[in-house]
Structure 1
C-alpha cells in the first residue's frame, strides 16, 4: 500500500503546508499549554480546568455558525479570518495574569479554533478528491509532524521552567497561526454552493447525525488525556523525569505520522467506522489502567509504563480518528459540508468544554480510581457506536440522494472500481 508523501494537487499542497505550520504552533500549546497557566501564571489546576471548560462551551455554537458562513460566503476567506483571530488571542495569553483574563483569552482562542475547523471542512471536501476522508487522514499525519516539532520546543520551555521560556513558547504559537493564514493566500477560493431546499439548519434536525456527534464528543475527551491528564499526573504523581511530558507527546505523534493513513484506509465505510470506535474504546480502557499503575514506581519504571500507555492510547486514537473522518463526511450532504462538519465539531467542542475539568477531577483529584472510571466511559461509548452508525445509515440514502442527485452508494463516499478509505 503506497502512501503519497507530497500531494499531487497544488491546492492540496497549500492546505498541507498551511496545516503543517499551524500544527507546529499547536504542538507547543498541546504539550505545555496547561503547564503554562499552572506553572508560569500560577493558576490552580482546578481553575485552569474550569476556564477551559467555559471556553469549550463558548466554542460549541461558534463552529456551527461559522461552518454555515463558509458554505454561504466562501470557505477560504472565513478560514483565514479565524486564524488571524486565533493568533491574536494566543498572543494575549501573556497578558492573562489572573483567572478572568485567562478565561477571556482562552474563550476567544477556543472559539476561533472551533470556527476554523468548521470553515476548513469545505476546503478539504472541495480539494480532497473523490475521497476527502483520505486527504483528511493525510492532513492528520502532517499535523502530527508539526506537533512533534512543536513538542520539542515545548519540552525545552517546561525543562527551563522560567516565565521567559513559557512566553517565548506562546509567541511561537501565535506566529505559527498568523503564518498559516498568510499561506492560505495561495489557495484557490472555493465558490459558495447554491442554496438548498428545505430547513436552513438541516444538520441540527438530523437526529442520527447528532447522536453520532455526541458519541464522538465523549470519545474525543481522549485527546485531553495526552495533553492535560498525563502531563499533570506525570509531574505531580510519578517519579518520571519532567522532560518525559514531551516524550509522551512525541511518541504519540510519531505513531500517528507512520500509521494514520494506513489505519484510515481500512475504515472504508460507515460500518467499519462503527467497529473502529469499538476497538478504540477498548484500547483507551487499557491505556488508562496502565497510567494509573505508574504512581509510586521508581522513575525508570514509571517512565516505561507511561510510554507503554501512550502507545496503546495512540493505537486507540488512530481508530477513533479514522472512524470520525469516515462517518462525519459520509453522512454529510455535499451542499452543507461546513454546516454538518461544524455540527460534528460540537463533539470536539464538548470534549474541550468538559474534558479538562472531568479529567482533572477524576484522574488528578480522585487518583487511581478515576483513571478506571474514565477508561470505562471510553469503552461504553465505543460499544454504543456501531448501533448509532447503523441508525444513521438507515435514514441517510433517501435524503442525500434527493439533495445531491447521487446514488446511495455514492452518498456513502464509495468510489467505483476500488476499495477506498482514508
Structure 2
C-alpha cells in the first residue's frame, strides 16, 4: 500500500497527464495523432454551423427574403440535386492536386456563398446562394474522403466512427442554436445564425491549415480517368448503401410525423426519441466499429442492420392506437433497436467506402459515394412520407423489408467486388 502511494505521490503532472491521455485513447474518447484531432475539430465546427443552418434556412427564406413555401422547396430541391454533380470531378482533382488544398478552397467558397445569402432579396438570388453552397459542400466531402483515409492509417473505420460521433454531437448543439433562433423569431436572429454558419466555414479552414500536406499518390498509367463511375461493383455498392442510408431519415423525418399524426404520445417525445438516438450513437459508434474490419465482416454487419431496421420499424408501427404512455414505451424500444441497426450499418458502410476504393483515387470514389448518399436524402422525404406516414403500418413494414433486401444483397456485391480487386480481409 505504501509503495503504491509513494509512486502516486512521485508522479509528475506530465506523467499523470500522459496516463490520462493514454486512457482516453484506449477508450476511444481521444484521437491519437494531431492530424486526426484537427480533422475532428474542423468537422465539429463545420457540422455545428451546418446543422443550425439546415434547421432554419426554410424559415429564413420565408420570413426574411419573403419567398413562398413553393419557392423555398423548389430552391432547396434544385440546390440539392445540382450539388450532386460536383463530387466526382472535384474528388478527382483532389486525388491529382492534393486533398487538403482543394478542401480549403471549398470551405472558403461556402463561407462566401453563405455570406451572400444575407444579401439575397429575390428567388433567383436565394437559389444561386444555396446552390453554390451545396456544390461546394459536396465537393468538400469528396476532398475530405482522401484525408480521412490517409490520416486514419490502419484504423480508418475507428477514426471515421469517431468523426460520426463528433458530427452527431455537433449536430445536436447546432439544432439547439437553431431552436433559440426560431424561438426569438426575428430577422436579426436568423441573420446572425446565417453569419455564424459562414464563420464556421472559416473556422474549419483555420484549423485545417495546420494539417500536413498530402502529396498525390501515383496511379497506373493504363488506367482511365473516370475509373470510379466505371467500377460497376462499387457503383452497385453505392446504390444499395444509398438505400440503406434512408434509415437516417426514419427517426428525423418519418417518426416525428408518425408521433403527431398517428399516435397519442405527447409531442415532446419527438425530442426524446432523437436524444436517445444521438446518445447511443455518440457512446457506442466507436465501440461498434472495432470489430468491423474487412469486406466480409462489413457485409455481415450491414445484413444484420437491415434486419434490425425491419424489427425496429415494426415496433414503432405498433404505437398507433394505444394509450399515450404505452406508445412512448413502445417507440423507445423501437428507436433503440433502429439505432443499433444504424450503428452496424454505419460501421460496415464506412469500412467498405474506403476498402473498395483504390488508395490513389479516394477522392473520386468519395464523390461517387457522396452522390449515392445525396440521392438518398433527396428521395427519402417523399418515400418515407408516402409509405410510413400516409400508408401507415403496412408502409413501415414494406420500408423495413426494403432495408432487409438491400442488406441481404450486400455480401454478394462484396464478393463480386472481390473478384475484380484485392480485398484483404486481414488488412486494417
TM-score band by shorter chain is 0.7 to 0.9
Q: Could you tell me which residue of structure 2 aligns to residue 279 of structure 1? A: 304
Pair member with larger Rg: 2
> In 2 relative to 1, CA 29–246 (structure 1 residues): closer, same or farther, beyond 3 Å?
farther
Q: Could you tell me which residue of structure 1 aligns to residue 352 of structure 2? A: 327
Q: Could you tell me which residue of structure 2 aligns to residue 217 of structure 1? A: 242
Matched residue pairs, number?
Answer: 402
Residue 332 of structure 1 aligns to a residue whose secondary structure is coil
Structure 1: any 5+ residue segments left out of the alignment? 398-407
Residues 246-261 of structure 1 correspond to what in structure 2 (within 5 A)? 246-261=271-286
Q: Could you tell me which residue of structure 1 aligns to residue 45 of structure 2? A: 21
User: 2:403 matched to 1:382?
Assistant: no
**Greater displacement, 235-244 / 191-200:** 235-244
- Do the aligned partners of 1:288 and 1:309 also contact (CA within 8 Å) in 2? yes
Residues 139-178 of structure 1 correspond to what in structure 2 (within 5 A)? 139-157=163-181, 168-178=192-202
Q: CA deviation at 1:183?
A: 1.4
Structure 1, residues 353-389: CA drift from partner, whole Å, max 9, x if none? 2222322333344444433332222121111111111
Residues 304-383 of structure 1 correspond to what in structure 2 (within 5 A)? 304-383=329-408
Q: Distance in 1 between matches of 2:111 and 2:404?
A: 36
> In 2 relative to 1, CA 162–77 (structure 1 residues): closer, same or farther, beyond 3 Å?
same
> In 2 relative to 1, CA 385–53 (structure 1 residues): closer, same or farther, beyond 3 Å?
farther
- Do the aligned partners of 1:49 and 1:360 also contact (CA within 8 Å) in 2? no
Q: Could you tell me which residue of structure 2 aligns to residue 110 of structure 1? A: 134
> In 2 relative to 1, CA 67–132 (structure 1 residues): closer, same or farther, beyond 3 Å?
same
Structure 2: any 5+ residue segments left out of the alignment? 1-24
Structure 1, residues 7-60: CA drift from partner, whole Å, max 9, x if none? 22111111111112122224435666677778997865x876665554343232
- Do the aligned partners of 1:56 and 1:354 also contact (CA within 8 Å) in 2? no
> In 2 relative to 1, CA 105–246 (structure 1 residues): closer, same or farther, beyond 3 Å?
farther
Q: Could you tell me which residue of structure 2 aligns to residue 405 of structure 1? A: none
Residue 186 of structure 1 aligns to a residue whose secondary structure is coil
**Which of 98, 120, 123 does residue 147 from structure 2 map onto?**
123
Residue 266 of structure 1 aligns to a residue whose secondary structure is coil
Q: CA deviation at 1:161?
A: 6.2
Q: Distance in 1 between matches of 2:392 and 2:184?
A: 28
Q: Distance in 2 between matches of 1:301 and 1:99?
A: 46
Residue 96 of structure 2 aligns to a residue whose secondary structure is helix
Q: Distance in 1 between matches of 2:62 and 2:311?
A: 28
**Greater displacement, 247-256 / 317-326:** 247-256
Q: Distance in 1 between matches of 2:344 and 2:234?
A: 19
